[in-house]
Structure 1
Amino acid sequence: MVTFRVMDVPVDIDRDTARRAAAEELSDPKYRDARPNILQQIGQWLGEQLEKLLDGLSSVVPGGIFGLLLVLVLLIVLVVVIRLRTGKVARAVRAERAVFGGKRQSADDYRRSAADAAAGGRYGDAVRDRFRAVVRALEERALLDVRSGRTADEAAAEAGALLPNVADALRQGARLFDDVHYGGREGTEAAYRALTELDERCRRERPVAMAGS
């Protein structure tokens, strides 16, 4: 509320004199310092716009404000899911499921390592290395490109397109690998023998692209 001191303002004033007196009063630094700065004004404006938006949405979303809150929660969940599938977490999970975690060996090296592990009763290691032998052999035959980060399922799908006779067996082999390598299950002698048979079948199969040549 603006007040004027009686001694400064005439008792009988016209419109122009009153305007000048008001302007002089408001030019006092104390009024200028009390006004919000530009950032505060922008923040206040954004808050008002957000309030208007929420009021408008709450009137059209079923359930009013509670329905709006439900929609916002669902949007947040959607963003989190997308981040999990595409962000750092997804990349970390993908890296853990990759067939080759470090430097590649030859297919024969993986076969020997798998056989040694099986002989020692370490069937988890035997399953992992025997499936790696399958994938590495396919890379050595140029049926799969040498690519980092490929998962067992991806390797099975890509190789199965070229070797349709063993496509189902490749998918089953990828599942055995994932169960041990990612799922934490114990490897078994039966799983190791199944992958050994898969390895031999893949070595005998000719890709469909070369079948007619």
Structure 2
Amino acid sequence: MPITGGLTTAWPMVHANDDVPLDTPRVPAREAAERELSKPMYHENDPNLLQRALDRFWDWVGGLFDSASGATPGGPLGLVAIALVVLALLGALWWRLGTPQRTPATSDSLFDDRTRSAAQHRTAAEEHAAAGRWNQAVQERMRAIVRSLEERTILDPRPGRTADEAAADAGRPLPAHADELRAAARAFDDVTYGGRSADQRTYQRLKNLDTALERAKPQLSDATRGAAG
């Protein structure tokens, strides 16, 4: 305790822990602060990764909107008017063209990559029909019809053949059933590519045609008659 001029002045006693220096350099102090703030207890209420991504996305959208409104005559009101005009044009196109339908990814071939017999296609058709899946039932029954004609050599097996081509090819040796074959091909195309739904009546027509074709005898063409004679 120092004594000055007869007065006693008490200086505070500072006790420091031996492990913590009184004068910490700047870099170690910053590192110690970063280590302290990195503890989970300080980040319990932080937004998760998805929330942070959404926040950044909406900030980006807001920046785009602000930029667009600044560049549009009339500001935000003009931008809203343009958006309404665009929506009206889209609605008119939707009404004029109808609901967009999914187009086939590869081709409009009647068969897929799997090779199955007519009996297998018929079995699949009946299973779909029993479950009320009329679209799939119509598809499989049409495949059964064409495969059966190929197995009977009325049609030659042709990779990539469409339902319309099969109906046209089969209608020549089977003219009595040409109309039914074209209708069956149209039903197949409607449910496969046209986005329409079949029903039990449609499937029954194809089933009846399949049964009738099993009993039908093809007519010989003039060239075939000449060769046979």
Query: Structure 1 length as normaliser, TM-score?
Result: 0.54
2:198 to 181, 187, 194: 187
Separation of aligned partners in 1, 2:129 and 2:104: 28
SS across alignment from 1:98: coil
Inter-CA distance 142–207: structure 2 relative to 1 (3 Å threshold): same
Counterpart in the other structure of 1:206: 217
Where does structure 1 lack aligned partners over 5 or more consecutive residues? 1-91
2:147 aligned residue: 136
* 8 Å contact from structure 1 (residues 117, 126) kept in 2: yes
Residue 90 of structure 2: aligned partner: none
1:112 aligns with 2:112: no
Aligned counterparts of 2:137 and 2:113: Cα–Cα separation in 1: 17
Distance in 1 between residues matched to 2:171 and 2:104, nearest whole Å: 24
Instruction: Report % sequence identity.
Output: 46
CA contact (8 A) 1:94 1:149 kept: no
Aligned pairs (5 A) from 1:162-173: 162-173=173-184
Question: What is the match of residue 121 of structure 1?
Answer: 132
Q: Which has the higher helix share?
A: 1
Q: Deviations over 1:79-107 (max 9, x none)?
A: xxxxxxxxxxxxx9695321102212110
Q: Deviations over 1:111-138 (max 9, x none)?
A: 0100000000111110000000000000
Q: What does residue 114 of structure 2 align with?
A: 103
Please state if 1:149 is matched with 2:181: no
Q: Is the contact between residue 146 and residue 166 of structure 2 (CA under 8 Å) also seen in structure 1?
A: yes
Between structure 1 and structure 2, the one with the greater Rg is: 2
Structure 2 unaligned residues grouped into runs of 5+? 1-102
Structure 1 segment 28-107 matched on structure 2, within 5 A: 95-107=106-118
Distance 1:119 1:145, change over 3 A: same
| 2:208 is the alignment partner of 1:197 | yes
| Conserved 8 A contact 1:107-1:132 | yes
Runs (4 or more) in structure 1 with deviation over 3 Å come to 92-95, 210-213
The alignment's C-alpha RMSD in Å is 2.1
The one-letter amino acid paired with 1:196 is: K
**Which deviations, in whole Å up to 9, do the C-alpha atoms of 1:149-206 show, x marking residues without a partner?**
1000100000000000100000000000000111111121111101001101111110
Q: Is the 8 A contact 2:135 2:197 kept in 1?
A: yes
TM-score with structure 2 setting the length? 0.50
What is the DSSP-based 3-state SS (H/G/I as helix, E as strand, rest coil) of the residue aligned with 1:97? coil
Corresponding residue of 1:37: none
The whole-number CA distance in structure 2 between the counterparts of 1:115 and 1:93 is 25
The answer to whether structure 1 residue 159 and structure 2 residue 184 are counterparts is: no
Aligned length: 122
Cα separation, 2, equivalents of 1:163 and 1:178: 21
Indicate conservation of the 8 Å contact 1:94/1:151, yes or no: no
Per the alignment, residue 59 of structure 1 pairs with: none
